Amino acid sequence: MKRLIRTSLLVMFIAVSLAAAFQEVLPPIPVGNVKLPFLLGVVAYYSMRRELSYAIIATVWCGIVHDGLGRMPWSVSLLAFSIFTIFCRLVLRRQMPDSTLTCMVAAMAGAILNDFLQYGVLLGAGQYARVTIHFIFIRTIITVVAAFVATGIVASFTRRLDYMASNVGFEDNDNAFGWNSI
C-alpha cells in the first residue's frame, strides 16, 4: 500500500513538474494570447480518473503552481480548480465513461470556468481593461480548444506513467488496448 502511494505521488510530481515547465516555456497562442493549460490537464486527469485523495492533492498543488506562474491574484486558480474538481467528482464522473476523451471534454468546462473567474477577479480589482464581447468569445473558444489538446497530451502521458508504475491496471480486460483503457 505504501509503495502504491509513493509511486502515485511520484507520478503526480512528474506530471505537475512537466506540465508547469511546458506551460511556462511554450509561447502563447498569438490570437487571444492563450497559454496551453497543461496544469488544468493534470487536474482534469486526477479529478476524472483517480481516487479522491489524489484529486485533492493534484488540485491544490496545481492551483498553487498555476497562481505562482501567472500574473493573477493569489488563489484564483486554486478556487477555479477546486470548483472544477468538485464538478468533475459530483457530476461528470457519474455521467461519462472513464477515458482520456472524458478528461479532455471535462477540461473544456474547466478552461471556461478558470477564464471567466480570472476575468471577473481582474475586472473587479480594476486591473483589466474592459474588452469587447467579441474578444472574450474568441479567447474562450481558443482556450477551450487549447485545453482539449493539452489535456489529451497530459492525460495520455500521465496514464502511461501510472501503468508503468503499476498504479492502475487496464479497465477493459477483453480489449486491453481499446479506447477505454488509454
Encode pLDDT of 132-176 as tens digits.
Answer: 788 888 999 999 999 999 999 999 999 999 999 888 875 544 444
pLDDT at 109: 94
**Res. 53 pLDDT band, cuts 50 70 90:** very high
With a cut of 80, say whether residue 4 has pLDDT above it.
Answer: yes
Residue-range definition of the domain harbouring residue 140:
11-22+34-181
Query: Is residue 75, in this structure, part of any structural domain at all?
Result: yes
Query: Is residue 5, in this structure, part of any structural domain at all?
Result: no
Task: Give the largest Cα separation in the chain, rounded.
Answer: 56
Chain-centroid distance, C-alpha 67: 14
Query: Is residue 176, in this structure, part of any structural domain at all?
Result: yes
Record the pTM.
0.88
> What share of the chain in percent tops pLDDT 90?
60
The stretch 10-18 carries a mean pLDDT of 96
- In this structure, what C-alpha cell is assigned to residue 62? 496545481
**Res. 181 pLDDT band, cuts 50 70 90:** very low
- In this structure, what C-alpha cell is assigned to residue 29? 497562442
CA dist., res. 47 & res. 86, Å (int):
8
- Concatenating the DSSP letter of every residue in 36-67 gives P-HHHHHHHHHHHHS-HHHHHHHHHHHHHHHH
The per-residue pLDDT of the chain, averaged, comes to 87
Query: Is residue 4, in this structure, part of any structural domain at all?
Result: no
pLDDT, greater one: 128 or 4: 4
Query: How many independent structural domains does the chain possess?
Result: 1
**Residue-wise pLDDT tens digits, 80-104:** 999 999 999 999 888 888 888 999 9
Query: Is residue 150, in this structure, part of any structural domain at all?
Result: yes
pLDDT at 122: 80
Residue carrying the nine cell digits 488540485: 59
CA dist., res. 50 & res. 167, Å (int):
10
pLDDT at 128: 67
Query: Is residue 109, in this structure, part of any structural domain at all?
Result: yes
pLDDT at 151: 96
CA dist., res. 83 & res. 91, Å (int):
12
- In this structure, what C-alpha cell is assigned to residue 171? 479497465
pLDDT at 171: 53
- Residue 29's DSSP bridge partners are 34
Query: Is residue 6, in this structure, part of any structural domain at all?
Result: no
pLDDT at 120: 85
Query: Is residue 124, in this structure, part of any structural domain at all?
Result: yes
